Amino acid sequence: MLRKVARGALSLRTAVRAVIAPSAAAGRAGAWALGSALLLALSPAAARSPVPSAPLESATVTVAELPAQGREVFRLIRAGGPFAHDKDGRVFGNRERLLPAQARGYYREYTVDTPGARNRGARRIVCGGEPRRPDRCYYTADHYASFRAIVE
Active-site amino acid positions? 109, 143
How many Å apart are CA 107 and CA 40, to the nearest integer?
Answer: 29
Q: Write out the chain in H/E/C secondary structure.
A: CHHHHHHCCCCHHHHHHHHHHHHHCCCHHHHHHHHHHHHHHCCHHHHCCCCCCCCHHHCEEEHHHCCHHHHHHHHHHHHCCCCCCCCCCEECCCCCCCCCCCCCCCEEEEECCCCCCCCCCCCEEEEEECCCCEEEEEEECCCCCCCEEEEC
Cα distances from 46 to residues 3, 37, 147, in angstroms, run 12, 12, 19
